[in-house]
Amino acid sequence: MLTYIILGLLAICVALALGGTRIINQVDRGIVFRFGRALPELRQPGLTLLVPVVDRLKKVNIQIVTLPVPTQEGITRDNVSVRVDAVVYFRVQDPMKAAIYVQNYLFAVEQVAQTSLRSIIGKSELDDLLSNREELNRGLALMIDSPALGWGIHLDRVEIKDVQLPENMKRSMSRQAEAERERRARVITADGEFRAAQKLSDAAAIMHETPGALQLRLLQTVVEVAAEKSSTLVMPFPVELLRFFDRAGPSGGGGKEGAESESAARETSPADLPSPIGTPELSSADDLRRALRPRSPVDQADA
């Protein structure tokens, strides 16, 4: 009978010992409550022993938590309705505070993130939400980190993920961007024309000082146009050149007489020279057209 009693006592002791043994994972820290009071020391990962029936163990995860903030709708400072969502990265730095000072630190951080995000939307303008997110992220992190420090929470990072705009605002921004690009294109075109006009003005000044440059430019243009065989080129023929041909004809003579005639022609003004093609003085546009019209053989015989 005594043997059975001893065996029963041993079985009870083994059961109590097994009931007071706990295993703490590497990602957790253990807090022991004895008679409802938290012991100051934390239980580290591994095997830990508790007093059966007296102690109660609570595990706190110290991994980084990725908490998505639900989409919040608000009105910016410039009266634009937007929908913004974010994500918060944090971890438990002091497991004792996280287990004692706040009932559910995950829910608490989520609520603080939502209210802080709404506050940031109301204080910011639309351009800041779209292009200046780094500063907004820092402001949002500061607003969340202030109460989280008292809960033993360390905030690693806060990011605004997406900003959703109304359709009419998207169309307005598209028109604004298109107008801005067209303005830049017109400014660039006007600047190019201004520089081209300056270069042309400089070239004109050089040609004015050296008339031969203008003739060379004319000949170069003729060469470029003549490259196209299907083109017809009409060039003005100076009257002075016809007068030169008239003076250099058979009636002008050669040798000394030709030289004397050339000297006399050089001293004579263009107004005193006879008509270069042997026509009478032209007094009207009709006379000019009749003089330039080709003559038939009959008219030449009458002449």
Domains of the chain: 7-61 (no CATH), 65-170 (3.30.479.30)
Give me the DSSP letters along 37-77: EE-SSPBPSEEEE--TTTEEEEEEE-SPEEEEEEEEEEE-T
Distance CA 87, CA 158 (A): 6
How confident is the model at residue 197, as a pLDDT?
92
> What is the tens place of the pLDDT at every residue in 91-139?
999 999 998 988 889 999 999 999 999 999 888 888 888 888 888 888 8
> What is the tens place of the pLDDT at every residue in 193-206?
999 999 988 888 88
For the ranges 65-69, 125-129, 233-237, the maximum mean pLDDT occurs at 65-69
Q: Which of 58-72, 168-182, 210-224 has the lowest mean pLDDT?
A: 210-224
| Mean pLDDT over each residue of the chain, to the nearest integer | 77
Query: Are 81 and 73 contacting, i.e. CB atoms less than 8 angstroms apart?
Result: yes
Residues 6+ apart with CB under 8 A from 258: 252
Query: Are 57 and 19 contacting, i.e. CB atoms less than 8 angstroms apart?
Result: no
93-117 in b/e burial notation, b at 16+ Cβ within 10 A? ebbbbbbeebeebeebbbebbbebb
Question: What's phi and psi for 48, nearest 5 deg?
Answer: -130, 150
Q: Where are the alpha helices (DSSP H) in the chain?
A: 2-19, 95-100, 105-123, 126-131, 133-148, 167-209, 211-226, 239-247, 255-267, 285-292, 297-302
Radius of gyration of the chain (CA): 52
Model confidence at 74: pLDDT above 50: yes
pTM: 0.57
> What is the tens place of the pLDDT at every residue in 1-47?
677 777 777 777 666 666 678 888 999 999 999 888 888 888 888 88
How confident is the model at residue 301, as a pLDDT?
47
What is the rounded average pLDDT of the residues 266-279?
Answer: 44
What is the rounded average pLDDT of the residues 233-243?
Answer: 65
Residue closest to 65 by CA, chosen among 142, 163, 148, 137:
148
pLDDT band at 186 (very low <50, low <70, confident <90, very high): very high
Largest CA distance in the chain: 172
Distance CA 150, CA 232 (A): 92
Model confidence at 251: pLDDT above 70: no
How confident is the model at residue 191, as a pLDDT?
93
How confident is the model at residue 257, as a pLDDT?
47
For the ranges 51-55, 139-143, 214-218, 236-240, the maximum mean pLDDT occurs at 139-143
Distances (CA, A) of 22 to 14, 32, 47, 130, 287: 14, 11, 6, 51, 128
What is the rounded average pLDDT of the residues 175-204?
Answer: 90
User: Is residue 31 helix, strand or coil?
Assistant: strand
Model confidence at 288: pLDDT above 60: no
